[in-house]
Amino acid sequence: MLQYIIRRMLYGTLVLLGAVVVVFFIFNVLPGDPVSMLAGTRTDVAKRDEIARDLGLYEPLHRQLYLYLRDLSPVSVHENTPEEREKYEYLPLLTWGKNVIVLKMPYLRRSYQNNRRVSEIIWENMEGTFWLALAAMLFATIFGMTIGIIASLKYNTTLDHAMVSLSVIGISSPPYVIGTLMAMIFGYYLSNITGLNITGHLWDLDDNGNKVLVLKNIILPAITLGLRPLAIIVQLTRSSMLDVLSQDYIRTARAKGLHYYTIVVKHALKNALNPVITAVSGWLASLMAGAFFVEVIFGWKGLGTVTIDAINNLDFPIVMGVTIFVAFSFIIINILVDLLYALVDPRVRVK
């Protein structure tokens, strides 16, 4: 198992490296003047030249890629100078001459707009997006599996057909369309009944200036974001349950006289979980990226709002940093899911 984990991590590193290279070349061919964004229009030529050299803009494109990969690498080689130490905040491991091998957090550069570290901006806004994606995934998983199980047990009935039809509508509806309708209906027209707001954050300030958790603000964004994965989970659970319920061992359990719901819960459901786990794992990471437009609709403070603002302002380091962070989240979640398979289904355990 340890060898398998190490091999999966190496594969994940290669995938992340490919994503970084693609993201780098995409954003380096787009228009925009980072020097003007950082320095302003009234800065003298010497200051602009210093900023351009610090960003490596005078270097060939392959050299710029090398510098960017070096900044992202947790172990890298730098000059042993006070400027480098302040810039990267590294821990020196081995020093020789003017160079030093260091251990550091990945350096995602600085924002063109406010000159803040991109990693700090991501860290500050990650919480909102994470809780929104997690709430949406919990909503989709709980209700999706429940509806899928009911549909499989009521196979080929009116209730089954209705659930399948509604799931198709859920899959076909874009989140930003559903979000707009949800905000108008439940956050505006029916706000006196629901008590929900069109916009809001997970945390708010009370009259004394203290942070207060406002869970009701996450309801509409989470439902909006979770409707599409819910619809997919419904169909996956229904299909997988129908396949398992037709197996010989289920018929044997029935012949032994086991209780119907014991057969469904202990025998059928556990063996039908694999495709559902795959969907849940993929959607959890996807929802962190898919939450972007939902966050804008509901005024939710998270990575989505920050990224959309960065795109509008051509603040490419933030967009690149968030993209790489989401890709890293995909890889980590997929590795964890591979390990979870072995716990759920002994047939796929690594020997």
What letter does residue 214 receive in the DSSP assignment? Answer: -
* pLDDT value of residue 266: 75
- CATH topology (fold) of 118-348: MetI-like fold (1.10.3720)
pLDDT at 205 over 80: no
pLDDT, tens digit, 9 for 90 and up, residues 168-194: 888 888 877 888 888 889 988 888 888
* pLDDT value of residue 345: 60
Tell me the residue type at 303: L
User: Percentage of the chain with pLDDT > 90?
Assistant: 5
Compute the average pLDDT of residues 231-260.
84
Confidence (pTM): 0.81
- Which token pair is 225? 């974001």
Higher pLDDT, 54 or 112: 112
pLDDT at 232 over 60: yes
Contact between residue 77 and residue 70 where contact means Cβ atoms under 8 Å apart: yes
**Dihedral angle, C-alpha 8, 11, 12, 15, nearest 10 °:** -160
How many beta carbons lie within 10 A of that of residue 343, not counting itself?
A: 10
- Which token pair is 149? 């199980």
Question: Taking the domains of the chain in order of start, what are their residue ranges?
Answer: 34-71, 73-107, 118-348
Compute the average pLDDT of residues 274-297.
75
* pLDDT value of residue 38: 65
The Cα-based distances of 169 to 6, 173, 175, 232, 287 in angstroms read 41, 6, 12, 11, 19
* pLDDT value of residue 314: 78
Lowest model confidence (mean pLDDT) among 15-24, 232-241, 251-260, 336-345: 336-345
* pLDDT value of residue 143: 92
Higher pLDDT, 160 or 52: 160
Mean pLDDT for the chain overall:
82
**Dihedral angle, C-alpha 181, 182, 184, 189, nearest 10 °:** 130
